[in-house]
Structure 1
Amino acid sequence: MIQLPAADPRLSFWCPEPVDRSLTTVRLERFPRAAYDALAGQIGPLANLRSSSGCAVVFKTDSPRVTLMIERLRHHQPIPCGIALEVERAQDQHQPWHQVHSEDLRECDGDLVVGLPTGLERGGELRTVWIWLPLISTCVIAGVKVTDGARVEAASLPKPRWLAIGDSLTQGFSVQSPLQNWVHRLSRRWNLPVYNLGVGGLKVEPALFAPALAARSYELVTIALGSNHSWRESDVGVAAERAAELAELALAGGHRRVVWLLPPWKSCEEGKGPSDFAGVPLDRATGERASRVRAALKERLAAYAPRLELVEDLMPHDHRLLPDGLHPQALGFARFADNLAAKLG
């Protein structure tokens, strides 16, 4: 196979931050270095800052198979992990992308290669290929391999039109394939290329997102934060004012549409689901705090209407779709995406 190193100019990278091509590997970053200092001491969010959720390697090829070379793969949660491939289809409005999911990579660590079929034939028309990186686990890219005799050209990247701000639900916890996250589903459905700034475990942190909100104007900004103020009573009272500060930052950015997704329903609000998540109790008291956080955000953010839209009740009220009590599997994310699409029109 033909090997393209990470620095090869024919490889483009979809990610919010500039890519350093001076090394033998590249990391697709979503946040500037200052963000790590801002979250110093918050172990969970810090690990999730380094993930490449919603980031991809992009190029054009006619190769029947492409292989992604990964190094320093590290897992931070005991959930499935995979990469995924999308290949542009020609003149197919109903199914514009051929999609392939990798096997579960959770049992692998360190350096590995993952090959995926494209459905293309050498000598045929070059197609744009997107290789999406893991949602939660972290890694760096060493390069790409294509079939001997295949052609590779640089692909033009689209302009990002949607900024998705949020916590673990936006990041994509806990589905295996990057294509199963609600953000990616709606990005393809709406044809809105998206930068995913979801960070698992994050509370409302206005300063963290201020640079991204000011860097460019988006057609859509979604903010899905607040749930992580539910775990401790001391965090409940500060959620609304922090949300107001973030809302003002978003509304000052000249974005066409800004939508706040209120914290979703949780199984513990009805006394269902597991008793805890990673040691955090998921009991009736937690459910009651979650309800209060949601109500406080709704009341405080209503002052910004109609410039700020509030959307609620997106999570299906079915505890079977949330195996850990908080995060949906693929079917749950599909229904979440359908509900949001219906709300936004």
Structure 2
Amino acid sequence: MTERTAAHIPTGWDGVVDVTESDGWRQPWRLPPRRLATAFSPELTEHAVVPTGVRIGVVTDAPELSLSLRSTPVWTPRPRAVDVFVKGELSQSLPVGAGAEELIVRLPGERSEVQLWLPHRGAITQVGPISVAASATIEPAPATGPRWITYGSSITQCLVTASPSETWPARIARRYGWRLLDLGFAAQAYLDPFVARTIASRPADLISVELGPNLYIRGPFTERSLGGLAAGFLETIRDAHPDVPVVVFSPPVWVEREHEPNPHELTLSGVRELVENVVRVLQGLGDGNLHLVPGDELFGAADAGLTIDGLHPDAAGDALLAERFGPRLAAVLAGSAVQVPAGGPAGRPASEPVR
């Protein structure tokens, strides 16, 4: 049996707000665990420990690497995976089960940068030791590139796409070399002040905010409350990041529900109009670095065939979102503006219940 040496590589984490340790297992968090009680939402806490967009980066000359994981399902079981990138290219996608297990990652055996994308859906995931042969070297990989924070609902967490590196935020981050912090929380994007303060507290070069269908589904807000809360959410972020571009996109089209009133008599199209008006009001008050991408242009009625239910994009829908949204974000970061391409996904390849 090959003698191994193990290390936790604590500085190799990226896409996290915090990492805690208990009994030799490290828990990545996408929200600050010590302050989560202020959200008064067990559901949001449940999402905060699901490592959507979380990566571990190492540099090693080992021919293989052993990754210990412990998974605790929190939703209906769905296929999950760790995506392995070697020198920037996808090398393996390793299936992940429940409970404790050891994944063996095959490597070139020469000094290479390795990035491990943890499972983005379905389970709390804890990380144990990362082991390599005793004769090999291993160290944390340097984290480089602009820091991008993206916030939203299941549209941003991307629970349909099976691969953690193929969600639309992951696709964009990989394409442009950005350091992603994915704050997508399925059915929990309710303008929580706690989340706004989290975004305000993190270093960022670019911020995108999905003010999406959660503002409509189940009627969490009235017309009176929604506009002010959305404005306050954005102003909390702006106060902490006065010079960082912030891009807002409003709800995508949900054909079956566009004009159906929720319990507070708001339609999805009405929520979209209100969100876009909030952005225009803040722009009119002098926020020249706040940008709007209308959701019906980003993912419209013609794209419904790339969803599982008329709203949530499938894997091909995520690819289309990345193709449309990525250039807009890149242009904003570069200080210019581009138009979102119009039209549907004709000719494009197509691919849990999502909450």
TM-score by length of 2: 0.80
Partner residue of 1:114? 103
Name the aligned partner's letter for residue 222 of structure 1. Answer: S
Trace 1:220-259 onto structure 2 (pairs within 5 A).
220-233=206-219, 235-237=221-223, 238-252=225-239, 253-259=241-247
Partner residue of 1:266? 254
Trace 1:1-345 onto structure 2 (pairs within 5 A).
3-5=4-6, 7=8, 12-21=12-21, 23-40=23-40, 42-88=41-87, 96-103=88-95, 105=96, 108-118=97-107, 120=108, 122=109, 124=110, 126-136=111-121, 137-146=123-132, 149-158=135-144, 161-233=147-219, 235-237=221-223, 238-252=225-239, 253-269=241-257, 284-285=260-261, 289-305=267-283, 306-312=288-294, 313-316=297-300, 317-344=302-329, 345=331
Name the aligned partner's letter for residue 313 of structure 2. Answer: P
Q: CA deviation at 1:66?
A: 2.7
Q: CA deviation at 1:56?
A: 1.7
Tell me if the contact between 2:83 and 2:116 (Cα under 8 Å) persists in the aligned partners.
Answer: yes
Instruction: Give the gaps of 5 or more residues in structure 2.
Output: 332-355
Tell me if the contact between 1:230 and 1:236 (Cα under 8 Å) persists in the aligned partners.
Answer: no
| Corresponding residue SS for 1:188 | helix
| Corresponding residue SS for 2:26 | coil
Distance (whole Å) between structure 2 residues aligned to residue 217 and residue 17 of structure 1: 11
Distance (whole Å) between structure 2 residues aligned to residue 59 and residue 239 of structure 1: 44
Q: CA deviation at 1:259?
A: 0.5
Q: How many residue pairs align between the two structures?
A: 317
Quickly say closer, same or farther: Cα 1:111–1:22, change in 2 above 3 A.
closer
Quickly say closer, same or farther: Cα 1:255–1:202, change in 2 above 3 A.
farther
Q: CA deviation at 1:336?
A: 0.4
Quickly say closer, same or farther: Cα 1:200–1:255, change in 2 above 3 A.
farther
Distance (whole Å) between structure 1 residues aligned to residue 279 and residue 140 of structure 2: 44
Quickly say closer, same or farther: Cα 1:148–1:4, change in 2 above 3 A.
closer
Tell me if the contact between 2:52 and 2:118 (Cα under 8 Å) persists in the aligned partners.
Answer: yes
Q: CA deviation at 1:158?
A: 2.7
Name the aligned partner's letter for residue 24 of structure 1. Answer: G
Instruction: Give the gaps of 5 or more residues in structure 1.
Output: 89-95, 271-282
Distance (whole Å) between structure 1 residues aligned to residue 75 and residue 21 of structure 2: 26
| Alignment RMSD (CA, Å) | 2.7
Q: CA deviation at 1:172?
A: 2.4
Quickly say closer, same or farther: Cα 1:161–1:146, change in 2 above 3 A.
same
Distance (whole Å) between structure 2 residues aligned to residue 102 and residue 236 of structure 1: 45
Tell me if the contact between 1:204 and 1:243 (Cα under 8 Å) persists in the aligned partners.
Answer: no
TM-score by length of 1: 0.82
